[in-house]
Structure 1
Amino acid sequence: MAAYYPPVGFHFSVEFTGLSPSESDHQFQSVSGLSVDIETEEIAEGGENRFKHKIPVRTKFPNLVLKRGLLVDSKVIDWCKDAVENFNFKPIDLMVKLLDEKHEPLLSWNVVHAYPVKWSVADFSAEESKVVIETIELVYNYYNTIS
């Protein structure tokens, strides 16, 4: 019987649907924001003073934050710049894939109707020798988990 080992979180890719990105556009240093909260509404019952009923109302998804080393020629950044500079928003779907040792998807998240709301570049410093990191923050409607 083989022992089960949980997957590692450092082997993943991000694919943008509808863009023709280069191979480098799939590689990110980190992805965060793949979580969901269920908002609730409190309802007080007449005569019951010990508690309030909490009823599920809707789901709430935080922004998706992607970080990587700065790319000079990137279709993803062109898409972000079009939104930021021209206020031209073109929502797209993207797929975050957790990969196994054979580079095959182990688990995937289909992020639906995403568009950029923030693009930033890390600070420059002559006192440090480090890679320039760009951060792309996306808002999206929801995601589906695909196994």
Structure 2
Amino acid sequence: MEFSYPAPGFYFQVKIGLQTYSFKEVSGIEFSTDFEEIASGGENDFKYKAFSRRKYSDLELKKGFIPRDSLLAEFLNFSIINSPAVISKLKMYPIIVHLLDKEGTPSQSWIFYEPVPSKWKLGNLDAMENNYLMESITFSYNHFHSI
């Protein structure tokens, strides 16, 4: 019987289309399910709970500031310049997050469908700090599942 340890949360990669990106942090891999309470005629002690819908949080990716020659940078620039109506007509590649094992092969992966950038934030420019310039990109998406 093979003994396994909890997966390390620091060895991962993100793929968008055919390009692989390294990010400092990935957050927002979560969903919740809403329930609708239904009262039954004559039953006063409890209510039945029925599945209603699933809600997905936004996917947030943080990394050092992207060089302007990448495909992701071009798409972000396009998103800033154009209206949401134009952006919604684009076909965006799914985002795949791979959790890697010690050999660098995916041990668990999640695929996010129809992602659209919903927020971009550049870190603080501070002459008194000795830090890398960070950026945060938030994507809204329709749904995800593990692969």
Secondary structure, counterpart of 2:81 in structure 1: helix
Gap regions ≥5 residues in structure 2 = none
Q: Distance in 2 between matches of 1:47 and 1:3?
A: 52
Structure-1 residue corresponding to 2:75: 79
Identity of aligned residues (%): 33
Distance (Å, rounded) in 1 between the aligned partners of 2:48 and 2:2 = 46
Q: Deviations over 1:63-86 (max 9, x none)?
A: 000000101222212112212221
Alpha-carbon distance, 1:44 to partner = 1.7
Aligned-partner Cα distance in 1 for 2:2–2:46: 48
| Counterpart in the other structure of 2:11 | 11
After superposition, residues 46-61 of structure 1 pair within 5 angstroms as: 46-61=41-56
Extract structure 1 runs of 4+ deviating beyond 4 A: none
Which one-letter code corresponds to 1:78 in the other structure? E
Residue 114 of structure 2 corresponds to residue 113 of structure 1: yes
Aligned-partner SS, 1:103: coil
| Alpha-carbon separation, structure 2, partners of 1:97 and 1:77 | 21
Separation (CA, whole Å) in 2 of partners of 1:40 and 1:4: 35
Partner SS state of residue 38, structure 1? strand
For the residues of structure 2 that align with 1:77 and 1:52, how far apart are their CA atoms? 50
Q: TM-score, normalised by structure 2?
A: 0.87
Alpha-carbon distance between aligned partners in 1 of 2:41 and 2:126, rounded to the nearest angstrom = 62
Residues matched between the structures, number: 141
Q: Distance in 2 between matches of 1:2 and 1:108?
A: 21
What does 1:116-135 align with in structure 2 at a 5 Å threshold?
A: 116-135=117-136
Give the TM-score normalised by the residue count of structure 1: 0.87
- Distance in 1, Cα, partners of 2:26 & 2:117: 14
Structure 1: gaps spanning 5 or more residues: none
Describe the SS at the equivalent of 1:92. Answer: coil
- In the alignment, structure 1 residue 140 sits paired with structure 2 residue 141: yes
Q: Please name the residue that 1:62 is paired with.
A: 57
Q: 2:26 aligns with which of 10, 31, 37?
A: 31
Shift of residue 110, structure 1, vs aligned partner: 1.2
